[in-house]
Amino acid sequence: CHLIHYLRLSHHLIVLNYLICTFDKLKSVSSEDINITDAVFDGVEVRVFEPPAKADEKLKRSVVYIHGGGWALASARTSLYNNLCRIMAESLNAVVVSVEYRLVPEVCFPEQFHDALRATKHFLQPDVLAQYSVDPSRIAISGDSAGGNLAAAVCQQLSKDEHLTIRPKLQALIYPVLQAFDFNTPSYQQNMNMPVLPRYVMINYWIDYFNGNYDLAHSLLINNHTALDVGQALSFRGRLNWTSLLPSSFKKNYKPVIQTTGKADIVQQIPALLDVRAVPLLAENETLQLQPKTYILTCENDVLRDDGVMYAKRLENAGVEVTLDHFDDCFHGCMIFTIWPTDFSAGVQTRNSYIKWLDENL
């Protein structure tokens, strides 16, 4: 993929996504009991999963789901996410709306955020909810990885929209990516070479999302963009102090990496590095106080572990009821790996725990 990109034959993410979708066509996922339809919500494609109506039932609960893939890969239509949303719809007897936001490199930040926000706001309209027989008081917004990032950012935006009459009751974030401020948190140091999502891959996803230059990767890796002399970052430092936000069991013996002098021009080139629509963990306390009851799933073998744990702590400090569901023996992305040949026990374990929480709280 990178060779093709280097030769300028195509962008490597386009090639990788093509390979993923080609492999995906080899799989078939049964969905006899769920009605699956594709629709367009305010210009954004979505896939809707509807369980059959029950005679004594008037309204169903619902989940707006945003898939992961580094803002660049996968799709609501791939078998992995199709299977997850179908099982959610069946297990919860809920209408599941899976958002098909546009991907890098076709578009970059903030377009993915805008797509997810537009589709969610459209669905939250009373007449649309009535069309799908959804209870307005029982709606969750959820997503995994980059989709968890978008779900958190959308939830924050919805909470501040004074014109909305209907808002999500819950948010459920699965190993979400929530910050690009510090690439040396304990989990980034501990899992820097962990398969599925090594640190350098996550940094490259961020660069692609922001349409930045790969030449900045090393500076980001050593936190040059948030050095003590980078004035734009100073006001955010207290919101992401992992030495106070993480329990000792996660901090272990790792030390903070804080540069005295750095490169302020990085933030000038990529201002989105400090944009809360892209990095929800940096939101102010006044916004966090408005967030709904929250579930956050984290995995030990994941560079993003501490993003989720720190967000849980900040929400808790802001007075939000939070469930942090941590798995010591699981890895990033595991929840969607429940279909042969990638049917892992970690996937079933995390998926069941996630669906159980939704069932008990939605």
Residues forming the active site: 145, 302, 332
Question: Residue 253's pLDDT band (boundaries 50, 70, 90)?
Answer: very high
Distance in angstroms (rounded) separating the CA atoms of residues 254 and 312: 20
> How far is the C-alpha of 168 from the C-alpha of 267, rounded, in Å?
33
The structural domains of the chain, ordered by start, are: 9-360 (3.40.50.1820)
- 8 Å CB contact between 147 and 67: yes
Position 268 scores a pLDDT of: 94
Which residue is associated with the tokens 């572990």? 305
Average pLDDT over residues 51-78: 92
For 320-344, the pLDDT digits (tens) are 999 999 999 999 989 987 776 667 7
pLDDT tens by residue, 74-92: 899 988 899 999 999 999 9
Instruction: Look over the chain and give the mean of its residue pLDDT values, rounded to a whole number.
Output: 91
- What is the pLDDT at residue 10? 40
d(CA 132, CA 358): 19
Give 294's strand partners.
Answer: 171, 322
Judge whether residue 269 has pLDDT over 70.
Answer: yes
Q: What is the pLDDT of residues 172-203, one digit of tens each?
A: 999 999 999 999 999 999 999 998 899 999 99
> Is the model's pLDDT at 296 over the cut of 70?
yes
AA identity, residue 14? I
pLDDT score, position 24: 54
Percent of the chain's residues with pLDDT above 90: 83
What are 216-241's pLDDT values in tens digits? Answer: 999 999 999 999 999 999 999 999 99
**Mind giving me the DSSP string for 119-181?**
HHHHHTSHHHHHHTTEEEEEEEEEEETHHHHHHHHHHHHHHH-TT-S---SEEEEES----SS
Euclidean distance between CA atoms 181 and 238, whole angstroms? 11
User: Which tens digits make up the pLDDT trace of 91-146?
Assistant: 999 999 999 999 999 999 999 999 999 999 999 999 999 999 999 999 999 999 99
pLDDT of residue 57: 79
Share of the chain above pLDDT 70, in %: 90
pLDDT of residue 27: 46
Task: Say if residue 17's pLDDT is above 60.
Answer: no
CA-to-CA distance for 320 and 291, rounded, in angstroms? 7
Distance CA 179, CA 194 (A): 19
d(CA 161, CA 117): 11
**Beta carbons within 10 angstroms of residue 25's beta carbon:** 9
Looking at residue 260, its pLDDT comes to: 95
pLDDT band for position 22 (cuts 50, 70, 90): low
Per-residue pLDDT for 289 more than 90?
yes
Chain length of the chain: 362
Are 87 and 66 a contacting pair, CB within 8 Å?
no
Whether pTM exceeds 0.75: yes
Q: Where are the beta strands (DSSP E) in the chain?
A: 35-41, 44-50, 60-66, 94-100, 134-144, 170-174, 293-301, 322-331, 338-339, 342-343
- Name 272's Cβ contacts closer than 8 Å, sequence gap at least 6: 109, 110, 209, 210, 278
Question: What gap in Å lies between CA 44 and CA 155, rounded to an integer?
Answer: 18
- Residue 23 confidence (pLDDT) above 80: no
